Structures are given as C-alpha cells and as structure tokens.
C-alpha cells in the first residue's frame, strides 16, 4: 500500500510554468482525481509521479521514500493511458500477461493472475482476440486488466474514458469505481470531466494554469467552491455567475434584486446553482424574458439573459412557456455565493 506526498513540486520549461508549487499528501488507498481544463498541469503532475517527467523542483515521496531519481519501472506504479497502448500483434491474454514477463514474475503464477485480472473487468470471453477485434470499451478494459495484473502500489489513470462514447463512459466509470473499492489501491485519476470527478473521487484537486485552486471532497467543492473558476467548472450545468454590486445588503444587477446578503458594499459576482432557484408566478428576485428552454425529462431547464451571463434554472418537468415570455425566478439568499469581482475569491465562509 502507498501514501504519496508531493512537496512543493514544480515543473518548468524555460519561463513557462506547467505546475507551480504543488503540495499535497494522498492517503493510502485514496482515490484522488486531478481535475481541470486542458493545459492546467494535471497530466504533467501525474507524469512526474510516474517518473515520465522530471520535476524541476520539490520532492515526490511514495511511502516516505523520495522517488525523484528512480526510473518509472522502480516506482511500483501502473499507468492506464487514454490511448490504451496495447500491442496489436498480441491477443488479449498476452497483452495482460506482458507486465508479468517484463518484471520476471514466476511463470507458474501467470495464468492465475491473468485470469483473475480478466475476470475483474469481464474479459474472459475475449482472451483469444487481438485488439483490432475489440470495441473501444473492451480495449480500455484490457488496459485496466494489464494494470491490475501487476498488483502495483499505485494506479495512475490518465483520461482513460475520453475515447469512449457516452454510454460506454457511464458503464466503464462504474466498473472503475467498483474496481477501486475491490482492489483498495491508491489511485490518481486525471480528467477534464467534472462528472467523472464527482462520481469517482474521495477527494478532488481542481487545477488551473498549473496552480491548485481547491482541494476537497466532491461535496465540499460542489457546495462551497473556493473561487469563481471552481464554481464555473463544477456542476452540470455550471453554477450561474452574475456580475453586479451589493448595496445595503442587497445584490443588484439588470433585472435582479436579491436582499438579505451579508457582504460589504461594492462590486461582486453572485453565484447560485440551477437547482437552488425556482420559477414562480411572480414576486421573484429575477425577472426577465425566457432566452431558451430545454426539456431534460425529469425537469425543464429555463434560461434567461442577465447582462452578459446566461442564467439557468431547473423548473418542473411540466413547465411550459415560449421563448421571450416573461418569467420570474426566486433565489433564496441562503443558496447564494459571493465572489470578489477582481480576484474571483470566495467572499465569506
């Protein structure tokens, strides 16, 4: 088992900073997700842990031992890539077995280990096939089995589901979740998909431009985003963010007036989630014409324009109206978040 410590880890290429001063302890058996947009430094962080990139500064420790100078093969980590990286000339059985041969594991144990790993990802009926004869989801499961068979201290998964279609992503995500519970191995998972982060992680690290924005459980990050960037990145739809100003405890923006807020007077960004507001007959704090409506099955998403922002609210699935019809939206001040207009940092607790 493995605890991983990243102590002020940085990666620079000349003047470009890929990862800046990353400081975190990942607990033994924890499932940690690195989340952020393309180019935020999440994959670079993972590659430094794996030994595929050299850290420019800081220390990487696995079970208390500094591994900065160790080759990837000596770090006892198994990596699952977005591209599967399977050997096309080998069948599924030999692809899964390959890490055992490379590491010179007792050949007498190979068959048992391969079949155990293949059973975990439901590949028993495909062991004779070549990768070209498999679907994308099956190939990804071969890559997972090849990582499992090594019985590593750490799993590193780099966007493993991004090449799969939506339905396969859901089923494979469930499989990864179940595997992480069954194997109880420290796992670091990289994704730009916030749904994957929310459903898989024990803790999420949200990154932007190489800098950690917030670390916390999915619930903490969803309910109390540290800044406007995190608020806009987590949630489907993302949190509504409206620029305006507070005067005497009331937030004002075009077509918006929300009283009862505890904040100093001045410019702010107000945030609230679609499910934390209601469409009402009248008397709401937001009054504007409908910009668009989307039927989601279990709800109707109603959107209005407030200044330059599109504000979305979940209405009952039976709600019906036309574009440009006036609508009144009620937002409870207890569900409102305030962010600094300049820095984006959260205001208040």
- At residue 185, the 3 state secondary structure works out as coil
pLDDT, mean of residues 71-99? 87
Tens digits of per-residue pLDDT, 133-163?
988 888 888 988 888 888 888 989 998 888 7
**Residue among 52, 76, 46 nearest 62 (CA):** 76
* Same domain, yes or no: 47 and 172: yes
Residue 304 to residue 327: CA distance in whole angstroms = 8
By C-alpha distance, which of 334, 17, 319, 31 is closest to 181?
31
Structural domain contains residue 210 = yes
pLDDT class for 281, splitting at 50, 70, 90? confident
Q: State the DSSP string of 60-80.
A: EEETTEE-TTS-GGGTTEEEE
* Domain match, 124 and 21 both: yes
Residue 346 lies in a domain: no
Helix extents (H) in the chain: 42-50, 92-102, 110-120, 136-148, 166-183, 194-200, 218-223, 228-233
Q: Where are the beta strands (DSSP E) in the chain?
A: 4-13, 16-26, 31-35, 57-62, 65-66, 77-80, 154-158, 186-191, 203-208, 211-216, 240-247, 250-253, 256-258, 266-272, 277-280, 286-295, 300-306, 309-315, 326-331, 337-340
Flag whether 155 is in a domain. yes
Average pLDDT over residues 17-41: 95
Final residue before a domain boundary, out of 200, 228, 256 = 228
Decide if pLDDT at 264 tops 80.
Answer: yes
pLDDT at 165 over 80: no
Mean pLDDT of 190-208: 94
Q: In sequence order, which residues have a C-beta less than 8 Å from that of residue 255 and are 6 or more positions away? A: 286, 287, 288, 304, 306
Q: The domain spanning residue 263 has which CATH number?
A: 2.40.50.140
- pLDDT beyond 70 at 1: no
Query: Would residue 233 count as lying in a domain?
Result: no
Same domain, 119 and 29: yes
Looking at the domain assignment, is residue 103 inside a domain?
Answer: yes
Number of domains in the chain: 2
Residue appearing with tokens 């977005």: 82
pLDDT digits (tens, 9 = 90+) for 42-58: 999 999 999 999 999 99
Residue at 12 is within a domain: yes
Q: Is the peptide bond before 237 cis (omega within 30 degrees of 0)?
A: yes
CA separation for the pair 256, 242 (Å, rounded)? 9
Whether 349 has a pLDDT exceeding 70, the answer reads no
Task: Determine contact, residues 315/281, Cβ cutoff 8 Å.
Answer: no
Q: Is residue 85 part of a domain?
A: yes
User: What mean pLDDT, rounded, does the chain reach?
Assistant: 91
Task: Tell me if 271 is assigned to some domain.
Answer: yes
Distance CA 271, CA 293 (A): 20
* Dist. CA 21–CA 67, nearest whole Å: 17
- When mean pLDDT is compared over 132-136, 167-171, 263-267, the highest value belongs to 263-267
**Residue at a domain's end among 202, 228, 254:** 228
pLDDT of residue 81: 80
pLDDT tier, 173 (very low <50, low <70, confident <90, very high otherwise): confident
Let me know whether 66 and 141 are in one domain: yes
Q: Which domain holds residue 92?
A: 4-228
Domain boundary among 228, 253, 284: 228
Q: Examine the domain organization and report whether 272 and 222 are in the same domain.
A: no
CA distance 307 to 122: 52
């Amino acid at each position: 088992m493995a605890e991983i410590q990243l102590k002020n880890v940085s990666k620079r290429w000349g003047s470009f900073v890929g990862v800046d001063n990353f400081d975190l302890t990942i607990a033994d058996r924890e499932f940690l997700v690195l989340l952020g947009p393309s180019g935020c430094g999440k994959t670079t962080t993972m590659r430094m842990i794996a030994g595929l990139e050299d850290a420019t500064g800081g220390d990487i420790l696995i079970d208390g031992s500094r591994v900065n100078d160790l080759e990837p093969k000596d770090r006892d980590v198994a990596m699952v890539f977005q591209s599967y990286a399977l050997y096309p000339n080998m069948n599924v059985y030999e692809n899964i077995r390959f890490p055992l041969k490379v590491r010179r594991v007792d050949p007498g144990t190979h068959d048992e280990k391969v079949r155990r790993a293949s059973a975990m990802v439901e590949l028993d009926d495909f062991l004779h096939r070549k990768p070209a004869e498999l679907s994308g989801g099956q190939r990804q499961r071969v890559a997972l089995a090849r990582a499992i068979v090594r019985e590593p201290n750490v799993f590193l998964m780099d966007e493993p589901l991004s090449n799969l279609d939506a339905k396969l992503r859901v089923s494979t995500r469930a499989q990864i979740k179940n595997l992480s519970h069954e194997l109880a191995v420290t796992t670091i998972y990289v994704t730009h998909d916030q749904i994957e982060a929310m459903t898989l992680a024990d803790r999420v690290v949200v990154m932007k431009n190489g800098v950690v924005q917030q670390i916390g459980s999915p619930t903490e990050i969803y309910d109390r985003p540290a800044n406007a960037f995190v608020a806009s990145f987590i949630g489907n739809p993302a949190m509504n963010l409206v620029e305006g100003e507070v005067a005497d405890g009331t937030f004002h923006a075009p077509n918006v007036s929300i009283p009862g807020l505890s904040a100093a007077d001045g410019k702010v960004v107000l945030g609230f989630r679609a499910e934390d507001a209601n469409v009402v007959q009248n008397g709401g704090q937001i009054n504007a014409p409908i910009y668009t409506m989307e039927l989601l099955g279990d709800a109707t998403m109603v959107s209005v324009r407030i200044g330059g922002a599109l504000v979305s609210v979940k209405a009952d699935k039976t709600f019906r109206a036309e574009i440009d019809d006036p609508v009144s939206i009620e937002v409870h001040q207890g569900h409102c978040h305030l962010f600094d207009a300049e820095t984006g940092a959260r205001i208040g607790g």
